[in-house]
Amino acid sequence: MLIIPAVDIKDGKCVRLRQGLKDQATVYGEDPAAMAVKWQEAGASWLHVVDLDGAFSKKPVNVKAVEQIRRRLTIPLQLGGGLRSLEHLRLYLDLGVDRLILGTAVLKDRQLTEQALQKFPGRIAIALDARDGKLAVEGWVETSDQDAVAIAQALSPLQPAAFIYTDIHRDGMQTGPNLAATRRLAQNVAIPVIASGGVSNLTDIANLLPLAHDGVIGVITGKALYAGTLDFQEALRLARQAATP
C-alpha cells in the first residue's frame, strides 16, 4: 500500500485545514516545493497536492507553486482543487502533473467528468469526499444527497485511475480513518481506491493495510505527518512488511 504525503497549498503556503474549513488553517511551511522535496527524499513514491484556494475559487490559483513542485520532483504527483474545465486540466497536464483529481465536477458537471475520463485515460482520479456517506462539493461547503458508492459505480465503466475516498468528519482530526466506509467502497467497485482523512498514527496505518485485499492501494496522510504523530519512515516500513509474501 502506498503511503502518500499531502501538500495542501493556501495563499502560496503549505497548510492543513481542519475538516476542510478554510478559516481553520495551520501553516506548516512557507515553501510548498521545499516541503514536497522533503517527502520525496524521505522515500515517498507519490505526492498528493491540493490547491485549496482553487477549490474555493473554482479555478486554478496556485499554479506557480504547483509548477515549482513539478520542476523539483522526480516522483509522480496528483493534484486537485479548482479543476472545472478541460482547459484547467490541460494547463496542469502540460506542466507535467501526472494525475488530476476531479471532485465538484463529478456532481456539478457530469459532462466534463465523462469528457475528461475519455480524453485523458489513466490521468484522472475521482475524489469522493463524503459526510455520512453523501458527497460534498465546492471545497466541502455543500453536502449533496448523492451516495458515494452509487456515484463510484456509475463512473467505474469510464475507468478512472482511482477513487480517492475522504471522510470529511475525520479529515485533519486525527481520529482514525473510516475503515468501514472505505472498505464498502472498495468492495463495490473494481477501480483502485485511495483512503484519505483521519490518519493519526502507525496503528491507523496498520488498520488500513488489510484493506489492500479489497482494492485499497494507498492512503493519503497530511496532518499526522506535520504534527509529528505519524513517523513517515515507520509507516513506509510497515507497508513494505505487509506487502512482503
CA gap 75, 222 in Å, rounded? 18
53 is known as an active-site residue: no
CA gap 73, 39 in Å, rounded? 10
Strands 2-10 and 21-29: unpaired
Strands 47-51 and 21-29: unpaired
Q: How many residues are present in the chain?
A: 245
Phi-psi region for residue 63, left (φ > 0), alpha (ψ -120 to 50) or beta? alpha
HSE-CB for 102 with a 13 A CA cutoff: 28
Q: Are 13 and 32 in contact (CB under 8 A)?
A: yes
8 is known as an active-site residue: yes
For residue 142, the cross-strand partners are 137
Catalytic residue among 8, 53, 98, 204: 8
CA gap 27, 61 in Å, rounded? 18
Phi first, then psi, for residue 83 (nearest 5°) are -90, 100
CA gap 10, 55 in Å, rounded? 10
Catalytic residue among 51, 98, 129, 167: 129
Name the residues annotated as catalytic: 8, 129
